[in-house]
């Protein structure tokens, strides 16, 4: 299991939200470019970037954000405001390592089917699509976690798998930004239901002990944000952990 550091952007600033609430944000006195360079210079090769404005349909961050992303050689997992098939394929063609799709996949019944046909034309593109599942008490949320979907969690996973998508980013909103531990029980349920999914955990990680607990299960990677900014987990610890994961392959 790999640790992927997170950078969340709101109004051009690096932030972390609590329980997905845009009114409960912590703003950090560091630029996007500085955070990326900090990770890169310390041996991190993979970062997770979310445009929180984009998640609400506000694309004011995107131009500046992509100018920064284009200048890095790091692998980027990107999400926030992906609304069209063309956006997905353009991002993949431009070198974004993974593209996260969330709201559109839930609200547009045909989106995933159309995306499946499109990405099937190019080698490995399906592996580079990440399906976001943001969950509050096992209810799927979307549009910046402000709306609820009637689709049952496991039914949605099954639908995605049937269309050829198998990499999922699952965030327990109850845990997110609270540094109270990861949603282990939720991830266990998902893996028991579909053992072959490639699961990315997100939310609640507060220490390396939480990382070690998640590593007991077949979770492929974990996104860590606030614990890094609050100095609960150091970049050196992330580097050491990820290097061990590589050598054990």
Active site residues: 8, 134
Q: Which residues contact 136 (CB under 8 A, 6 or more apart)?
A: 20, 145, 148, 172, 173, 174
How does DSSP classify residue 19? Answer: T
Place of tokens 């496991």: 154
How far CA 32 is from CA of 7, 65, 183, 198, 238, in Å, comes to: 8, 8, 28, 28, 19
Place of tokens 């699952």: 170
Identify the burial level of 199 via C-beta atoms within 10 angstroms of its C-beta, where 0-12 means exposed, 13-18 middle and 19 or more buried. Answer: buried
How far CA 195 is from CA of 124, 164, 190, 191, 243, in Å, comes to: 21, 15, 8, 5, 26
Which phi and psi (to 5°) does residue 166 adopt? -135, 0
Residues 106, 149 contacting (CB under 8 angstroms): yes
Residues 47 and 3: their CA atoms lie apart, in Å, by 9
Q: Count the residues in the chain.
A: 249
How far CA 24 is from CA of 14, 17, 106, in Å, comes to: 14, 6, 25
């Amino acid at each position: 299991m790999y640790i992927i550091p997170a950078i969340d952007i709101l109004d051009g600033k690096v932030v972390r939200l609590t329980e997905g609430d845009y009114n409960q944000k912590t703003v950090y006195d560091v630029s996007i470019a500085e955070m990326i360079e900090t990770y890169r210079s310390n041996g991190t090769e993979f970062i997770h970037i979310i445009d929180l404005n984009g998640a609400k349909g506000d694309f004011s961050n995107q131009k500046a954000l992509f100018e920064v992303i284009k200048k890095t050689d790091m692998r980027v997992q990107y999400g926030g405001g992906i609304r069209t098939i063309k956006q997905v394929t353009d991002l993949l063609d431009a070198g974004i390592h993974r593209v996260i799709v969330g709201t559109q996949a839930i609200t547009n019944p045909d989106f995933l089917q159309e995306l499946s046909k499109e990405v099937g034309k190019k080698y490995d593109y399906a592996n580079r699509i990440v399906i976001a599942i943001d969950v509050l008490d096992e209810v799927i949320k979307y549009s910046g976690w402000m709306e609820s979907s009637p689709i049952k969690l496991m039914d949605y996973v099954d639908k995605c798998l049937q269309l050829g998508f198998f990499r999922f980013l699952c965030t327990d909103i109850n845990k997110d930004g609270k540094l109270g531990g990861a949603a282990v029980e939720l991830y266990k349920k998902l893996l028991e239901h579909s053992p072959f999914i490639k699961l990315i955990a997100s939310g609640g990680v507060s220490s390396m002990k939480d990382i070690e607990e998640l590593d007991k299960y077949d979770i492929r990677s974990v996104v860590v944000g606030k614990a890094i900014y609050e100095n609960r987990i150091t970049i050196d610890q992330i580097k050491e952990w990820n290097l061990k994961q590589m050598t054990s392959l």
